[in-house]
Amino acid sequence: MSTDHLEVAQPDHRPRPRHRAVWVLALLATVGLLAGACSSGSSTTSTATTVAGGASGSVIHVPADHPTIQSAVNAASPGDLILISPGIYHEAVDVTTDYLDLRGIDRNTVILDGTFQFENGVRVLGAKGVAVENMTARNYTNNGFFWTGVEGYRGSYLTSFRTGNYGLYAFDSTKGQFDHSYASGSPDAGVYIGQCQPCDAVIDTVTSEHNGLGYSGTNSGGNLTIVNSIFRHNRAGVVPNSGSYEQCYPERKTTIVGNVVYDNNQADTPAIDVALLAMGNGILVAGGRQNDIERNLVYDHERTGIGLVPFPEEDANDKVPTSEQMERPCSDQKHDPTPDPKSAGTVIWPAADNQVLDNVVSGSGLGDLAFGDLSGEGPASENNCFSGNTFTTSAPTDIETVAPCTGTGSGDPKAGSLDLAALIASERPPAGDYKVTPEPPAQPNMPDAATAPARPATDVPMAVDLAAIAVPTKPTDG
């Protein structure tokens, strides 16, 4: 069964009480207040924030009630569940209605296919609390699933592959969550969260492979947690980064715990220039600050396992802000005066104030743990620290002695320091074509997708008990 991408205006014959949307909104607001009053704390650093309460709207079936997903979305009211039957839908779906839940009945057979003509599979623009669940997007020229300018979002049990930019993409959005999802075949990043501070977001149980970058986060952070996920076979694995090509710089305060990051040296993936440059690194903080990288299992990288490096931005739009300036939330920074485009020359974003704790890292060509700087004064000069890690090689050589997370460092920070020139100078295989990325195997379905009630993204992000997360074991296929 295939549906056409053209919207077909269909009368909605379902009984719909007048002013139903008003009632649903009132219910949302009321339950939201109750939920907010009843939220309880736990031993987490990732706090669930209620945007509004749960919803109980109508169920709109596609194609039974509406022939296309877009026509169903257009007819929906806040709180509705759009339940999509198996089929290939040649659509680019835009969502501008708050608190919808778009759900496929079967993740592997509900397929949005852009045929390399449409830009985004599902794009949520400024609509609060929209959840997208249990479906696949493939063959889009830009993104698989894209939220922009929203408060409250969730992508669960999603599969995205062969997309020209990102797979799962949240931009200028807060209070969100990606979980149980898969992304491959994006030249930039399989999973991307950018321009938010604080983001208040969680990435949990995600697999990202065969991308330029497994995860990229430009100018994001602040209660942003990446846990229990797998990043493998990308050019580079997890790459928080800074740059003035987006607002709210720099990247800071991302927490990366309990992930498996391995073999990110993949030579045949699609890749933007940054991904080519970052190739061969597991977790690479490129000009980021105040990040916590703890209890990850990282192995088999041609360059570094966990690296902290400066990021040079040529023809930057603005200079690095002062410490005071960068403490402001993104909502304030967005109103800063507009600098002249590309007027700031080459700007170096330092990696500073990061801590790397209790990771297990092995098999890295230039260093399991590494820090690079322009001054040669070592990681402690930028207040970075390394402690409790299991590793064999590092740059500088005695990195945990030079820059411990407790006490005062000692030793020579220049001994065995990271050769940045070597890190960047060697040849990289050219970018592959995202359009030929292999189709992934079938992915696990959301439980009870056909019967579970609507669940808009009103309870995001999920609470994460970071203290309970141990270093993961090696996967059987890794």
Partner 1 sequence: MSQRRWVVVGVVAMGALLLGGCGADTTASATGAGDVPDASAGAQPAGAQAGEVTIAAVDNVFKADTITVTAGAKVTWTNAGRNDHNIKPVDTGQFGVDTGSFKPGSTYTATFSTPGTYHYYCSIHGTKDRGMIGTVEVVS
What are the φ/ψ torsions at residue 31 (nearest 5 degrees)? -65, -35
List the one residue out of 129, 89, 110 whose CA is nearest residue 7.
89
User: Does position 430 bind partner 1 by CB under 8 A?
Assistant: no
Give the nearest distance from C-beta 197 to partner 1 in angstroms.
15
Residue pair 405/369 in contact by the 8 Å Cβ criterion = no
User: Does position 248 bind partner 1 by CB under 8 A?
Assistant: no
CA distances from 110 to 159, 162, 177, 366 (A): 10, 16, 21, 44
List the one residue out of 238, 253, 237, 251 whose CA is nearest residue 292.
253
Among 13, 38, 41, 314, binds partner 1 (CB under 8 A): 314
Question: For residue 318, what are the contacts with CB-CB under 8 A and spacing of at least 6?
Answer: 244, 249, 339, 344, 347
Region near partner 1 per CB under 8 A, out of 129-137, 223-231, 385-393, 416-424: 416-424
User: Does position 340 bind partner 1 by CB under 8 A?
Assistant: yes
Among 376, 438, 444, 475, binds partner 1 (CB under 8 A): 376
User: Does position 427 bind partner 1 by CB under 8 A?
Assistant: no
Nearer to partner 1, 103 or 123 (CB): 123
Give the nearest distance from C-beta 104 to partner 1 in angstroms.
24
User: Does position 339 bind partner 1 by CB under 8 A?
Assistant: yes
Residue 114-153 contact track with partner 1, rule CB under 8 A, x = bound: -----xx----xx---------------x-----xx----
Q: What residues form DSSP beta bridges with 81? A: 59, 101
Give the nearest distance from C-beta 212 to partner 1 in angstroms.
12
User: Does position 393 bind partner 1 by CB under 8 A?
Assistant: no
Question: Which residue is associated with the tokens 């590092």?
Answer: 394
Nearer to partner 1, 353 or 419 (CB): 419
CA distance 161 to 432: 14
CA distances from 300 to 118, 184, 266, 361 (A): 37, 20, 11, 9
User: Does position 379 bind partner 1 by CB under 8 A?
Assistant: no
| Position 272, amino acid | I
CA distances from 436 to 110, 254, 270 (A): 21, 32, 9
Determine which helix (DSSP H) or strand (DSSP E) holds 23, and give its type and residue range.
Answer: helix 20-38
User: Does position 342 bind partner 1 by CB under 8 A?
Assistant: yes
Determine which helix (DSSP H) or strand (DSSP E) holds 22, and give its type and residue range.
Answer: helix 20-38
Residue 154-173 contact track with partner 1, rule CB under 8 A, x = bound: -----------x-----xx-
Residues engaged in binding partner 1 (CB under 8 A): 94, 96, 119-120, 125-126, 142, 148-149, 165, 171-172, 188, 194-195, 218, 243-247, 272-274, 276-277, 310, 312-315, 317, 334, 338-342, 346, 348, 374-376, 419-421, 423-425
